[in-house]
Amino acid sequence: MLSPREIIRNLPSYHPPLAGRDGLRLDFNENVDGCSPSVLACLQSLTTEDLARYPEREPVEADVAKFLGVLNSELLLTNGVDEAIHLLCQAYIDHGPSQDEAIIVVPTYSMYRIYMLAAGAKLVTVPAGPDFQFPADAVLASITQRTRLIAIANPNNPTGMVAPRQTLLAIAQAAPHAAVLVDEAYFEFNGETLLPERENCPNLFIARTFSKAYGLAGLRIGALIGDAGQMRVLRRVSSPYNVNAAALACLPPALADQAYVEQYVTEVRESRMRLETLLHANGIQCWPSHANFVLMRVGPTAADSIAFVEHMRQHGILVRDRSADHACEGCVRITLGTRQNTDRLLTVLQQAIDTRSLIASATGTRP
């Protein structure tokens, strides 16, 4: 009988709750406003010939490299950041009796774990410090001669918190034999990047996505940037057609419309502040976010967050239960978008707090 590799048989399955997402979708950190109108116009102008041909990645790669101020040889367009993580695992992790190690700080983005385990790595999970602070010393202490990959989301998902720049550089310098991925999927909402540091750290990789601020999650496109020699290796692992023709056609107009991105980011930042203000005013615990979402604790147990998610769903707003994540019991993550969406979100949230004591009774933190 056909049987997959043992590692794959034992792999936990990850099923994000994608089905039946009717309502205001504040559950997946997507752009809730859509994308630039010029992207839509570009999609509508695609011809049958455009779709019949295999996609050519290089010209668009050159556009993105120019936009980011890096060399073409330092950048690979990928099928979202997810593929970038996958490629790094394929390129650097060896399975076998003396397993290679891969380090993540939990809670964090779920796909690091999946790809690392699938590649055969021994997963080393370092718990975040109090209040989800980045555990710099513990990460440094967990680096060994077998460490081959360290993945850090900055800002992190689901906490929205950031690690200090010097800490990230210290980690990259302490593990020259490991690939260090700094995943900047939420860069636009934060504004800080480690991109210039790649010149001094040949083992540092930076990932960016067009799924979030640019509103192109459905097209699946991202970029991985690193040392040109290492990127040559990653190109070998990647399919030459990893990014589809529609995504490649749409990226130049998306990049050209920076006014759209800036406007959206401004609204998200303003929305984030409004939500944090409301939560603080009601004594609800949340963490300072640098991304397009906020993590809040609605009660001490998973039952509290499940009830809260259901209450919001009944009022037409989808939010994400994060109780299963490390140290996140009773926590819910809410994506932020436009002012209009936030008006609606805050109204429903305030009603939930006032009329049902849904949050206050569960946390006991309210006076």
Ligand X SMILES: Cc1ncc(COP(=O)(O)O)c(C=O)c1O
Residue whose Cβ sits closest to ligand X = 80
323 vs 363, beta carbon nearer ligand X: 323
**Which region, judged by CB under 6 A, interacts with ligand X, from 76-84, 161-169, 233-241, 272-280?**
76-84
Q: According to CB under 6 A, which one of 142, 203, 211, 292 is a site residue for ligand X?
A: 211
Which residue in the set 27, 61, 74, 82 belongs to the binding site for ligand X (CB under 6 A)?
82
In this structure, the number of other CB atoms found within 10 A of the CB of residue 173 comes to 14
Among the listed residues 354, 353, 309, 350, the one whose alpha carbon sits nearest the alpha carbon of residue 330: 309
In whole angstroms, what is the distance from residue 62 CA to residue 66 CA? 6
CB 226 within 8 Å of CB 195 = no
Contact with ligand X (CB under 6 A) among 36, 142, 167, 209: 209
Q: Looking at the DSSP assignment, which residues form a beta bridge with residue 182?
A: 152, 206
CB of 355 to ligand X, least distance (A): 32
Contact status: 222 vs ligand X (CB under 6 A): yes
> In angstroms, what is the minimal distance from the CB of 11 to ligand X?
19
| CB nearer to ligand X: pick between 213 and 296 | 213
Alpha-carbon distance 173 to 167, whole Å?
Answer: 10
Judged by CB under 6 A, the residue of 183, 188, 227, 325 near ligand X is 183
Picking from 110, 26, 119, 56, the residue whose alpha carbon sits closest to that of residue 343 is 26
Query: Which of 118, 123, 174, 217 lies at the binding interface for ligand X (CB under 6 A)?
Result: 217
Neighbours of 362 (CB within 10 A): 21
- Please give the helix or strand (H or E) that residue 61 lies within, else none: helix 58-68
Contacts of 363 (CB under 8 A, 6+ apart): 283, 284, 285, 297, 298, 299, 300, 304, 330
Residues in contact with ligand X, shown as a per-residue x/- string from 93 to 132 under the rule CB under 6 A: ----------------x-----------------------
Which window, 80-88, 164-172, 196-204, 352-360, contacts ligand X (CB under 6 A)? 80-88
Which residues inside 17-46 make contact with ligand X, applying CB under 6 A? Answer: 29
User: From the list 64, 76, 77, 81, which residue makes contact with ligand X (rule: CB under 6 A)?
Assistant: 81
Report in angstroms how near the CB of residue 261 gets to ligand X at its nearest: 15
Residue 260 to residue 277: CA distance in whole angstroms: 26
153 in contact with ligand X (CB under 6 A): yes
Q: How far apart are CA 316 and CA 344, in angstroms?
A: 10
User: What residue ranges bind ligand X (CB under 6 A)?
Assistant: 29, 80-82, 109, 153, 157, 183, 185, 209, 211, 217, 222
